[in-house]
Structures are given as structure tokens and as C-alpha cells.
Homo-oligomer: A and B are copies of this chain.
Amino acid sequence: MFEVARVLGEVIRDVHKSDGEALAQFGIDFNCSMILGGQIRGEGCRLFQLYSAGNFIEATEENLYFQIGEAKYGKPIIDRVVSPETSLDEASKAALISMDSTLRSNLSVGLPLDLLCYEADALKVTRFANIDNKNAYMSLIRNTWGARLQQVFSELPDPDWKDLAENKKTVNSVRIALTTTGEKKDAGSQT
């Protein structure tokens, strides 16, 4: 699979060579990102993300998944529920919830979705779905997840401002509410 990623990387470079200049004349950056996953019989499943320059990285236990495209809206839910122990079905569920978050927060992203879930050693596609707005499972996800989230939200206690403001500080200047004021110094301690 590493060799496949190398070949695909070379293809991306070839396309850049043939199209890059023409794109630049229209003020368009050559921009390409791809996810490559698969298995060759006798070897393990591997997953790569390839960049515009044809270089790539591989998924690991610490870095379980890749997203491409409009990725940020759907990342928090994956980060909260997916671990190396997550089953394939649960991962599919997480992927659909993640896409639902993106669909709701960015109107330029829309159904249908193609969902392909590859089972190690199957060596063929056993789980594939084209999901449009009539799909019953996707409708269940869309309705139930949002409703349950609202319920959990309403069950969390509201802030008590006396407790919340336990670090007394004078408001000397206009502060922009909810923007961070500092750089994270020790990422580990805050995750």
C-alpha cells in the first residue's frame, strides 16, 4: 500500500505539471487532497492522506482518521467518540453524525453521501451505501442526535456567575467575549 501511495503521489505531481500553469493563469492554486485506504492480500489495512505536492502521511493509533474537504465542523464529534477500540459500525455512525454536523453548519455541503466501510481481510467492498435525503438511517441520525444533544444541553447546569468568576479580574478594557487570550502552553494538560 505504501507503494500505491507513492504511485498516486506521482500521479498528483504529473497533473500538477500538466495543469498547474493553466490554473495559475486563472488565479487558481493547484490544490488537491486525497484519502487512500486499502489492503493487499497478506498485508495489513493501511490508510494514507495525500497532499497537493504528492507527499503523504499515514494513519496511526494516535492519529486514527483523516478527513478531507470541509473538515472542521465535523471533527469535534469524531474526537469525542472514536478510539482505536471503536467498532466499524460505530465508526460509520460517528462518520454520519460528523457529516450531519457539517451539513447543518455549512449550507454549501449537501447530500448525497457515499459511505464505504472496508472490513479488514474482506478484500472486497461489503458495506457501501449511497445516502440521500430519503435514507431512513440517516434521517434517524439527523433527528435523534440533534434532539438528544439538546436534551443533554438542557440538563447541564447553567453557569453560576459568582462561581464562574472566581478568578477576580477587573475589566479594564473592552475584551472580545470568548476569544482566547493566550496560547496553549502545554497541550497535554488541557485535553
Binding site for B on A (CB under 8 A): 34-35, 37, 67-69, 72-77, 79-81, 87, 89-90, 92-97, 99, 101-105, 107-117, 125-137, 140-141, 144-146, 148-150, 152-161, 163-167, 169, 171, 175-185, 187, 189-191
Contact = CB atoms under 8 A, between A and B. Distances in A.
A132 to B, nearest CB: 7
How many monomers of this chain does the complex have? 2
Contacts of A179: 68-69, 113-114
A180 to B, nearest CB: 6
A160 B178 contact: no
Contact of A37 (B76, B110, B126, B177): B177
Contact of A165 (B129, B134, B146, B189): B129
Contact of A104 (B80, B108, B141): B80
Contacts of A111: 180, 182, 184, 190
Nearest to A145: B156
Nearest to A178: B95
Contacts of A67: 178
B165 A128 contact: yes
A4 B113 CA distance: 45
Contacts of A167: 129-132, 134-135
Contacts of A110: 180, 182-185, 187, 190
A175 B104 contact: no
